Amino acid sequence: MKIVIIDYGSQYTQLLARRIREMGVFSTVVNSKDFKFDGTELGVILSGGPMSVYDEETFELPEELFNRTVPVLGICYGMQLIAKRFGGRVERGEISEYGFTKVSLSHSVLFEGIPSEITAWMSHGDTVKILPKGFVQTAKSQNDLIAAFEYKNIHAIQFHPEVAHTEHGTDILKNFVFKICKAQPQWTMESFVDSKVKEIKSIVKDKKVIGAISGGVDSTIVTVLTSKAIGDHLIPIFVNHGLLRIEDMEVPKDLKRIGIDVKVVDASNLFFERLKGIEDPEKKRKTIGETFIEVFEKEALSYDAEFLLQGTIYPDAIESATTSKSSVKIKSHHNVGGLPERMNLKLLEPIRELFKDEVRRVGKELGLPNTFIQRHPFPGPGLAVRIIGEVTREKADILRSADDILTKVLIEKGEYSKIWQAFAVLLSSRSVGVKGDARSYGYVLAIRAVDSVDGMTASWHDLPHDILKEISTKITGQIPEIGRIVYDITDKPPSTIEWE
Ligand code: XMP
């Protein structure tokens, strides 16, 4: 049973799903065009969005939505769609409300247990001026605009309860989820693992599944989960492209210890050969992606597999299904895409509906050690996107050693677990220095550490100076090729987390 969120392109849509899952209730995001009832909906939320109901290309609400008894909550643009659908009037407001706004609440189950005045986060230009017939206003803003209304089990609010700036926002969502939709908090990682294991068994039956292990958290956890379901019907393949961290190389051994045999393929020579002379970041990513598929395909063909296992997680899945018109490709993400059609494989994506923190909780449920679960994310193209300019084996070795020193210092100082992601980047420029009594001319290395919730936005992490000093001294002391170290102090946006 679930709460469905129909996405109209709001930047907060994913946040809504997270908030509801944090309440122990399963929630999914669907594109408005793909929405269809399947009988498991306890309630439907219509998200906000950047459009106006008077845009030429506005959305029509699915008629089916109101032929049922399933409760509906419209937020912001979702509220305006409801108003329009039932014959109310929405106007481009003379007053736009953006940011903190005082809202007075009147009687509604949605606002039970909440003070009669709250500060809420608004972001709208259009305003509902006249309510549809029979609907009752349940809140007004400090500008005397309609901030909420309802009719039977249809509720609408102009402000964003999912945003932390809205006082009692989570309580309002809880009222919708538990009091109006009558949901039960049954979504736990234990129940997820149990149901997925059953589901994988029933899909795969006695067939074979191949999967690529990258050393990262997602692909490893999905491997352990699937192995729990189908044992040695799963064939995990680990392709070493020469651009992995030291810690990634340990993963096949770690899995062996818990009874999972991984086929290790060292293809690093081929990757370095193909990367020769390439400096353009997108070209690097594409080359690695294509070479990866080529190597993996060759291996995979020797097994008579029917399925390909992938560690796709929710943000990737939403990204490709989103309604938002503004989503543009920033970087091409690398996975084994393209293979399923070429090899006639069916895709198995058991953690497709999980957020990163949920994937980690599944890992915990599966008994993986904390040190493994808390590892920082690592991009598919690996160290290649952290070596600016041409990638060579020599540079990869230098960067790998620097990354290892950085990681060890952060772990030792208790800082590693406080950071979303920390890594080193090897620049193509060199810098003059003195080592011993001689002039040196070494590489510049940048250190990046960021705080983030899901990698979509990030702020640079304020590492204590004594730790920065230790990192710098150790790296320059132990790696003679590195002559200078700088610290990256940019947020995302405007920059991205990775450098390429
Ligand atoms: P950016 O650099 O886009 O990174 O701000 C956001 C998060 O995504 C990771 N990342 C990738 N992960 N394949 C992946 O699996 C990729 O190609 C890729 N590129 C970036 C990045 O490490 C950060 O956590």
The fourth-level CATH superfamily of domain 2-180 is Class I glutamine amidotransferase (GATase) domain (3.40.50.880)
Atom 3 of ligand 1: nearest residue by CA position: 496
Q: Are 51 and 58 in contact (CB under 8 A)?
A: yes
Print burial letters for 77-110: b (CB count within 10 Å at least 16), e (below 16).
bbbbbbbbbbebebeeeeeebeeebebbbeebeb
Q: For the chain, what's the residue count?
A: 500
The CATH architecture one would assign to domain 386-487 is 2-Layer Sandwich (3.30)
Q: Ligand 1: does its nearest atom lie under 6 Å from the Cβ of 333?
A: yes
Residue spans of the domains in the chain: they are 2-180, 189-373, 386-487
- The CA 85 to ligand 1 mean position distance, Å, reads 40
- The CA 495 to ligand 1 mean position distance, Å, reads 12
Q: Could you read off the pLDDT tens digit of each residue along the chain, which spans 500 residues?
A: 999 999 998 888 888 998 999 999 999 888 888 888 999 999 999 999 888 888 877 788 888 888 888 999 999 999 999 999 999 999 987 778 888 999 999 999 999 999 999 999 998 889 999 999 999 999 999 999 999 999 999 999 999 999 888 999 999 999 999 999 999 999 999 989 999 999 999 999 999 999 999 888 999 999 999 999 999 999 999 999 999 999 999 999 999 999 999 999 999 999 999 999 999 999 999 999 899 989 998 998 899 999 999 998 887 766 555 444 434 444 555 566 667 777 788 999 999 888 888 899 999 999 998 888 999 999 889 999 999 999 999 999 999 999 999 999 999 999 999 999 999 999 998 888 887 777 888 999 999 999 997 787 899 999 999 999 999 999 999 999 999 999 999 999 899 999 99
Atom 9 of ligand 1: nearest residue by CA position: 379
* Distances, alpha carbon 162 to alpha carbons 45, 159, 252, 354, in Å: 12, 9, 40, 18
* Distance in angstroms (rounded) separating the CA atoms of residues 146 and 120: 13
The two tokens of residue 181 are 């939709």
Does the annotation count 107 as an active-site position?
no
- The CA 335 to ligand 1 mean position distance, Å, reads 11
Q: For domain 189-373, give the fold.
A: Rossmann fold (3.40.50)
Question: Are 2-180 and 189-373 in the same CATH fold?
Answer: yes
Q: Ligand 1: does its nearest atom lie under 6 Å from the Cβ of 212?
A: no
Does the annotation count 162 as an active-site position?
yes
Q: Ligand 1: does its nearest atom lie under 6 Å from the Cβ of 379?
A: yes
Q: Ligand 1: does its nearest atom lie under 6 Å from the Cβ of 286?
A: no
- Residue type for position 203: I
Atom 18 of ligand 1: nearest residue by CA position: 379
Give me the residue label for tokens 């992490």.
Answer: 461
Catalytic-labelled residue, pool 160, 168, 241, 376: 160
* 100-103-106 Cα angle (round to 5): 160
Q: Ligand 1: does its nearest atom lie under 6 Å from the Cβ of 352?
A: no
